[in-house]
Structure formats: structure tokens, C-alpha cells
Copies of this chain bind each other. A is one copy, B any other.
């Protein structure tokens, strides 16, 4: 991709009062724009990162045996009445009506819709277990949208729902999803803490939240300084410290959630299968969510410096930012063009800054948008040498033109987490 053609409106300064650095930087770097309170457009650079995150999630969910589908966002009001959640979730439901006055809700989550699908299409325990997921926009009427992509009213979510004929089967998938989530977040470059939110005192509930422990997080997590066990404050207040020493209080941003629904939805919706003995039994369910667009905010929040964003290679918009120090110098321009073509052919995602701007402006933009590697073709172009710069460490190395593809490929591979 060539910068001269790219729609990436970067801003030198910010008039906004955005409190989180991720929010400020995603706006400044031209990744997102607000259309209305809590409603954002993803510009090309933001969408690239979003797609890379999505690909990782899809990859790992498929590997875990889940199957992707795509459910509607327009939900008939009756389904929400049937589950009983029309009343309990009323506040966050966005209402829509059609020309006949029929009422719909914009899906804030899809337990009702997917359980309706499954009850009409699955009859026997032989068809279970089943783990179905989608990556789709959700709609929630949040009273206080905040932090850019952190809490919005229209957001991208991966939501999975599993269906079982017994608890043991649910347990196995629940554990598999916990393991899968750890891999997904690691691949996105995030150090996530699984937090217990089981509400031991209450009993029935079993749930884990996947938290990024950062100062700007709006949840409170209690962490045991001895063993690392972490619990949601609401439940931890009810249980004695696990190792005898007091919990430490930390702030966290929730990025994922796994939940044993059991029969909370299947019972009111009469979603049953026949078991081995031919008896009707309610389907046992689990649900598993990841805030996909929130991941962008989270990664941006923990990977930035005073000059801008620093994307992890695994989800970076581009691998390499390429520029010639002086594009009017034919030797420099030829070498940069050659490297661009060669790297693109080798499957390396290169952003080529071919604009007629000063090199200082280009460096600033490269730093701001946070491409992990920068390749400068400058004074040593005549000797076929260019400079490879690491956005994160600031380290520069000279690389010869013949070795640039292999050297960049090696640098990319070194920056990818084991999968």
C-alpha cells in the first residue's frame, strides 16, 4: 500500500478531552472516528488491525472445534419476552420498529436467537455437543460510553454458545474455551489475567472474566500477592483470602468472559433433546464472549509511547513502513521501489510512504501509527544498504538490499508469539 493513496487522516493535535491515551492515539493516528456518542467508524488502518484480531480469533475457535455462523442483529421482541430477559435487560436494549409496528431489539447478545435456532434444528443427544460462534456487531444502549472503543453502543464481539446433553460435556467445552482464550489473548500480545467471578456463595453461577490489569480499567479485581489467584471484587468480598494474606486491589479492563449458562435460557425456551433413554431433557449451555473492538483499545492502551502507537507484530496494520529519505534522489527511489515490490511479492505487508513530505514528517507519522518495523532508504542507497528500525526498542541496523527480505522476514517471525 502506498501512503499517497491512503485514507488515514492523522491529526497533529487533539481538541478532544479523551481521557485514555489509547482513545487519543486511535483518533490522532486516523484509526477511528466518532459518528455519535459511543458509535465509531473504523477507518482503513483501524479496520486492518480489527481484521487481524478477528483472524486470530477465528483461527483458534475453529481449531477448538467451534463452527462459525452469522445470526441476525434484528431480534423479534417475542423471543426476549420468552426468555424473560426483556425485563431484566430492558435498559440496554435498543428498540426498533418496522412499518407494521412490529417490535424488534437490536441484538446486544444472542442467547435467545441461537437457542431458538438450535431448538428448531436439533432433536437428539447424538447431535451434541455443539459449539457455535459468530463475529458480529452488537448493540447496547450504554448510559455512559467511554474510552473510545472501550465501551460503545455498537461494537464488534465474538460470541460463542455451546450446547450439551450433560454437565460433564459442558465442563469439557468450558475448559477448552478458557484454554483457547489464553491462546487468543497471547497471540494478540496481551497479558491477560483470568478472574474468578463464580459467586461461590450463590452457587449455581460459574463464570470467568479475562481481565487486562491496567490503571485505566473500570473493573476492580482482587489479586492474591502469593499465588496470583484473582477474583472479581464482588465475589472476593465474600470469600477469605486464599493464602492467608490480604488481596491486593487492581483495576482491570474486561476483554473476555466465559459463562456456564446451564439451563437458564434453554428452560424458558423449551429447548430440549431426547437423551439415550428417549426422555426429553433441557439442553445444557455455555456462552463465551470476547470484545473484539475493545481489544484494539486494550492493545493500544498498553503499547504506546510519547510518539504514538506500537502495534504487536501479530495484529499490526502493516509489518513494515518503508520510505526513501529523499525520493527525488533516483538511486534512493529505485532501491525503495525495488524493496517495495520484492517484499510485497514475498507476502510482507509493506506501507510505502511515497508522499512528497519531509523525512521528519514521515518519521512522525510512522511512529504515530505504530508500524513495528521501519525501513529507511537513505545515504547508503548507492551501496545498496538501508536502515531497519525497530519501533519498540528504537534499535537501528543496516541491512543490504539483497538481504532485506530475509532480514525483515526474520524480524517479523521473531516478533510473533508461539501459537
Known: A117-B33, A120-B33, A137-B137. A40 touches B99 (CB 8 A): no
- On whether the beta carbons of B70 and A42 are closer than 8 Å, the reply is yes
Q: Hey, what's the 0/1 contact readout for A36-71 against B, CB within 8 Å counting as 1?
A: 100111111011001000000000000001011111
Within the complex, what minimum Cβ distance (angstroms) separates A48 from chain B?
A: 8
- Cβ contacts A152-169/B at 8 Å (1 or 0 each): 011000000000000000
Q: Which of B35, B73, B122 contacts A9 (CB 8 A)?
A: B122
> Taking the complex as formed, is A132 at the interface, i.e. its CB lies under 8 A from any CB of chain B?
yes
As for how many copies of this chain the complex holds, the number is 2
Min CB distance, A267 to chain B, in Å? 21
Contact status A69-B94, CB under 8 Å: no
Contact residues of A with B, CB < 8 Å? 5-7, 9, 30, 33, 35-36, 39-44, 46-47, 50, 65, 67-76, 91, 94-99, 102, 104, 106, 113, 116-117, 120-122, 130, 132, 137, 139, 141, 143, 153-154
| A113 surroundings in chain B (CB, below 8 A) | 35, 41
Contacts of A7 in B (CB 8 A): 67, 69, 121, 130, 132
Q: Select one of B9, B50, B70 contacting A70, CB under 8 A.
A: B50
Contacts of A41 in B (CB 8 A): 69-72, 113, 117
Query: Taking CB as reference atom, which chain B residue is nearest A94?
Result: B96
Specify which of B76, B91, B106, B116 is in contact with A96 (CB 8 Å cutoff).
B106
Closest Cβ of chain B: how far from A169's Cβ, in Å?
Answer: 13
A44→B72 contact, CB < 8 A: no
* 21 residue pairs bridging A and B, Cβ less than 8 Å apart: A5-B65, A30-B121, A33-B117, A35-B116, A35-B117, A36-B72, A36-B102, A41-B69, A41-B117, A44-B67, A44-B132, A50-B70, A73-B137, A74-B94, A74-B139, A74-B154, A94-B98, A94-B104, A95-B96, A96-B96, A106-B106
- Write out the residue numbers on chain B whose beta carbons fall within 8 Å of the beta carbon of A74: 35-36, 39, 94, 139, 153-154
Closest 6 interchain pairs by CB?
A9-B121, A42-B70, A96-B96, A44-B67, A39-B72, A41-B71
A273 to chain B, nearest CB (A): 13
In the docked arrangement, what's the CA distance between A154 and B44, Å? 24
Inter-chain contacts of A68 with B (CB < 8 A):
44, 47
| Bound form: Cα–Cα A153–B97 in Å | 12
Q: A130 to B122: give the CA distance in the assembly, Å.
A: 48
Given A69-B44, A94-B96, A106-B96 in contact, is the A33-B139 Cβ separation under 8 Å? no
- Scoring A97, A99, A122, A137 by chain B CB atoms within 10 A of each residue's CB, the highest score goes to A99
Q: Which residues of B contact A99 (CB under 8 A)?
A: 91, 141, 143
For residue A69, which residues in chain B have a CB less than 8 angstroms away from its CB? Answer: 7, 41-44, 46-47
Interchain CA distance A21-B221 in the complex, whole Å = 56
> Whole-angstrom distance between the alpha carbons of A130 and B104 in the complex?
37
CB neighbours (8 Å) of A132 from chain B are 7, 44
Closest to A6 in B: B67
Q: How far is the CB of A58 from chain B (nearest CB, A)?
A: 10
Beyond A44-B132, A46-B69, A99-B141, 20 additional pairs, beta carbon < 8 A = A9-B121, A33-B117, A35-B71, A35-B74, A35-B75, A36-B72, A36-B74, A36-B76, A41-B70, A42-B70, A42-B71, A44-B67, A44-B69, A73-B73, A74-B154, A94-B97, A94-B104, A95-B97, A98-B141, A106-B106
In Å, the complex CA distance between A104 and B97 comes to 11
Query: How far in angstroms is the closest Cβ of chain B from A249?
Result: 31
Of the residues B33, B40, B72, B97, contact of A121 by C-beta under 8 Å: B33
Instruction: Quote the shortest CB–CB distance from A83 to chain B (angstroms).
Output: 14
A46: chain B residues within 8 A (beta carbon): 69
Q: Could you say which residues of chain B place their CB within 8 Å of the CB of A35?
A: 71-72, 74-76, 113, 116-117
B contact residues around A141 at 8 Å (CB): 98-99
User: How far is A121 from B121 in the complex, measured between Cα atoms in Å?
Assistant: 48
